[in-house]
Chains A and B, each alone.
Chain A
C-alpha cells in the first residue's frame, strides 16, 4: 500500500479552500486518508447540540448551579471527544480502484472502489458519495477489505472519469461530519449505445453475406493456439487429451469469408447514430460467430473474432473522433 506523502503538497495547494470539497489532484490510488485529507465540521445535529449547550449554560449561570455546569461541560467535552472518534473512523482507510468494466451508453457504469482497513479497529457507517450516484453506506471489519460499487448513469460514449468521491462518516454521535474528498484516476470506457433496430449486415465487396455462421470444415489449413471465443467445435481434442495446450484447427474457408463493416455503410445519419449502428452490427456479428473487420476513418480493425476482438472494435467506436 502506497502512502501518500504528506509533505509533498505545496503550500499554495494546501491552503486552497477548494481542497475541502474538491479534494486534491487525482492519483492512481490506493489513496490513504490522512489528516491532510480529512476535514471535520459540525453537522446540523451538532449545531442543535450547540444551541442546547448554550441554553443549559445560561440556565446554569442563572441558578448558579454547579452540577448544571458540570453536565453542560460534560456534554461539550463528549462532543469534542466524539470529533476524535469521527476522525479515527476515517483515518488510515485506503481507497483503491477496482476493475474497469466498459459499459454501453445508457447503461449504468459501475465504479468499483476497494476500501481497505489496515488497522485492528472496525470502521462504522462509512458513506461514499458521488455526484449522480446513489450513496453507499458500509462498515469495515478490522483489517478487512470491502468493495463499494458506485453506479453512475453513462450518458455519453468515450471515457467516463470518476468524479470526486466523498468518503464521510457521522459516527459516533452524528454531531460531527468528517469527510474526505478523493480523486482517483479511474475511468470507464463507454461504448456507443447499440442501435435498437436490427438491420441486415451491409453488403461487402465480396458479395452477399448472410447472417448464418460459416463453419465449413472442408479445407483443413493447420493449427493455431486457442484464443478465447474460438468455437468449441474447432478445438483439437486429441492433442488436448495428451496434455498439450489447446489447439484450434484452422480451415481455409473461414479466412476468406469476412464481414466488412465500413463507416461508409452508414451514410445519411449523424456521427453518433452511425456509431450506434456499427455497434449493433458488431454485437450481432459477434453473437453469430462470424469473422468481421471494422473500417473507420483513421482507424481500422482487421478481421477477427472473439471477445477481445469485439472489445477492440467497440473501443474503436467508443473513442472515434474524440
Chain B
C-alpha cells in the first residue's frame, strides 16, 4: 500500500499515456505547420517512447544541444523568423519535443503537460472550427488524466483515471461557460501582430485580370452570412458591393492606392429597406460587403466615394456589422475628375469596336438606349457563359468580343465597361458577391466565395450611377439561381479536392440528403460563429447591460454568485455517498422466520432475545419445538459464534424456507 514519497515518476504505462496524449494534442498542427517541424516532433516522441524500453538510447548533452540547434534551424528555414503565428507555434512544438527528451522528474512532467496545453492553444490561431474544439476537449481530458495518474500513483486503474478526468472536465464545463460569459474582456491586440501571409481563400482581389484566368476556382467556403430582420431580398437584388475599379491598362483593372472618405453628397434613398447583420469571415482586407446601397452602418466603418464600406484595420477575425440598405437609390452629379476617370481607355479602340459602338450611338437618342443595345448585343450574339474560358493574351476586349466569346462575369463586365467608355458613357467595374443561399434551417443567407461576381455601373443623367449586369444578359440563371455548387459538384463540373470530389460522387444519389445535411451543418456552424466565436468585448458589454450589470460591483456579484452555484453543484456531485448497507442474509432469513410465527400469533416482543423467544414459542407450540430450536441455534451461531461457517447461512435459509406450523 505504501510507496516512497520521494519524487514520484510515472511508470511505463503512465509514461506511454503521457506520450500518447502529447502526440494527440499536437497532431492537428500537421495541417498548419511545415512538414519538417511535425516530423521533428514525431521523431522526439518516438525517441522518448523507445527510451522507455532501451534506456541506453538516452542522448548525451552534445547530442541534445545539436538537436536544439536543429529544431531552431528548422523553424528558421521554414519561416525566416521566430515570432508570429506559424513560427511561434513551431517553436513551441519543437520545445515540447525537446522537453520530452529530458523529462526526468515530476517538475519536468508538469512542464511538458503545460507546454502541451499551450500548443493546444496555438492551434486555435489557425482554426476555430467546432471539430477542433471537440478534439481539444478530448486532448485536455487526456492531459488531465496524465496529471491524475502522476499524483495518484499505481493504485489507480487506467479506467478509473480516465473516468475521473472525464468527470473533472464535465464539472469544469459550466464553470468555464460562466467565466467565458462574465470574465471581463479586453479589446485586443495588446501588442502589434506581425502581418500574417493571407492563407484565406477569397473570391475577391485587388486586381481583375480576366484574360489570364483560364479556370475560375470556385470555393465552397463561406464568405459571410447575413441574418435579416424580416424577409431577405429576392435573388435578383442580392448584389453585395465590394471594391470598385476605374482604371484599366488593357489587361488588368487595378485599385488606386488609397481611397478617401466619401465627400460626395449622399444618394437619395427610396422604397423598402433591408435591415441585416453581416457576419464576415476573416479575409485580411478592409472591405465590408453590404447590399447595394448601404445607408446606415456602424460608426467605426468608413464609406468610400464608391460607396464601399471599409474597416480601419484588416479583418483578421470574424466580425459582425449591422447595416441598413436601400435597393432603390439615386446618386448625385458627376464631378469632372470622376467623369474623366469614368471614361479612361487604355489604348485606342480597334476599328471593329468603334464601328459597333458608332452603330449603337447613331440609332439612339439617349445613353440608356445605348446601354440596352449593348446588353441586347450580348444576349443575341452567340456569347457563352463558362467558368473555363480560353486564355486571351493580347487585345483582351477585342478578342473576347469578336473571337472567343466565352467567359465569365469578369469578361462581360470588362467588355461592357470598355464599350460604354467608347460610347462616352462614364462606367466602372464593381466587384463583390452576388446571390447567396437561403438557409431555411438557420434562417440566414449564406454567401460563399464561389458567389464572387463582377458587374458594371454606368452613370446616367437623372439616375446617377446605375447597376448593369451584362452577365445577366448572357446567363440569366446565374443571377436568378446563383452558382449551384452542389449541382455542379455532382456533375463533376467543379473540382475542389480529390476527397470532396469523392464525397460528392458518393453523394450523387443522395443528392437531396447531402443538401439537407449541408444546410443543417451550415446553420450549426453559423450558430457557433454567432454565439461563440463572435462574443467580444462589445457583445459582453451589451449582455451585461441586459442583465442590469452597470459597474464592477454588479459584475463581481454575478460572477461570484454563479461560480458559487457551479461550485455547489460540483460539490453536490462529489459528496461522499455511503454504499447502501447490504442486509445480512442471516438477519433476513431470521426475520422471515419471525414473520411466519407472527402469522400464527407468536410475536417477538421488543427486548426479548432470540433464545427467550424460542423457549416461549416452543412451549406454546410444542409441535414445532424442534424446528424453532434448530433455526434459533443456527441464527445465534452465525451471529454470535466464534467462527462463521458459510454453510450455516445456507442451512438457516433452507430451514426457514421449509418451516411450517
Contacts and interface: CB of A to CB of B under 8 A. Distances in A.
Contact of B574 (A88, A120, A127, A175): A88
B317 A172 contact: no
Given A63-B125, A64-B536, A125-B151, A71 B110 contact: no
A186 interface: no
Nearest to B132: A67
A62 B83 CA distance: 14
Contacts of A74: 137, 140, 169, 172-173, 176
A52 B193 contact: no
Contact of A73 (B3, B180, B188, B189): B180
B351 interface: no
A60 B190 CA distance: 10
Contacts of B579: 120, 142-143
B169 A84 contact: no
A61 B168 contact: no
**Which of B117, B120, B577 is packed against the most chain A CB atoms within 10 Å?**
B117
Interface string B15-39: 0000000000000000000000000
A81 interface: yes
Interface in B565-594: 567, 570-571, 574-579
A82 B164 CA distance: 10
Contacts of A77: 171-176, 179
A73 B168 contact: no
B186 interface: yes
A119 B128 contact: no
B185 interface: yes
Interface residues of B, number: 67
A70 interface: yes
A319 to B, nearest CB: 34
Interface string B611-647: 0000000000000000000000000000000000000
Nearest to A60: B121
Contacts of A48: 110-111, 114
A136 interface: yes
A124 B190 contact: no
A80 B577 CA distance: 22
B2 A136 contact: yes
Contacts of A135: 5
Interface in A200-245: none
Interface in B182-237: 183, 185-191, 193
Interface string A49-77: 10010011011111111111111111111
A121 interface: yes
B180 A69 contact: yes
B66 interface: no
A68 B121 contact: yes
Nearest to B577: A120
Contact of A124 (B2, B110, B155, B179): B155
A61 B176 contact: no
A139 B171 contact: no
Contacts of B179: 73, 76-77
A312 to B, nearest CB: 33
Interface stretch (B142-150, B357-365, B390-398): B142-150
Contacts of A143: 579
Given A120-B578, A171-B152, A81 B180 contact: no
Contacts of B120: 71
Contacts of B55: none
A121 B536 contact: no
A137 B567 CA distance: 29
Interface in A104-148: 118-122, 124-125, 127, 134-139, 142-143, 146
A119 B575 CA distance: 10
A265 to B, nearest CB: 46
A71 B116 CA distance: 12
A78 interface: yes
Given A52-B117, A74-B172, A174-B150, A139 B125 contact: no
A59 B168 contact: no
B156 interface: yes
Nearest to B183: A73
A125 B144 CA distance: 17
B317 A78 contact: no
Contacts of A175: 147
B1 interface: yes
A76 B175 CA distance: 9
A257 B563 CA distance: 81
Interface string B98-116: 0000000011001100100
B51 interface: no
Contacts of B175: 73, 76-77, 80-81
B168 A81 contact: yes
Given A64-B189, A66-B533, A84 B144 contact: no
A170 interface: yes
A256 B122 CA distance: 93
B176 A73 contact: yes
A121 B172 contact: no
A91 interface: yes
Given A56-B121, A71-B140, A85 B168 contact: yes
A206 to B, nearest CB: 50
Interface string A35-58: 000000000010011001001101
A84 B147 contact: no
Contacts of B1: 138-139, 146
A173 interface: yes
A78 B144 contact: yes
7 contacts: A62-B188, A67-B128, A69-B180, A137-B4, A137-B5, A137-B153, A174-B150
Given A119-B578, A122-B155, 13 more contacts: A61-B185, A62-B188, A66-B180, A67-B133, A71-B140, A73-B183, A80-B567, A84-B571, A121-B577, A124-B155, A125-B151, A173-B151, A174-B147
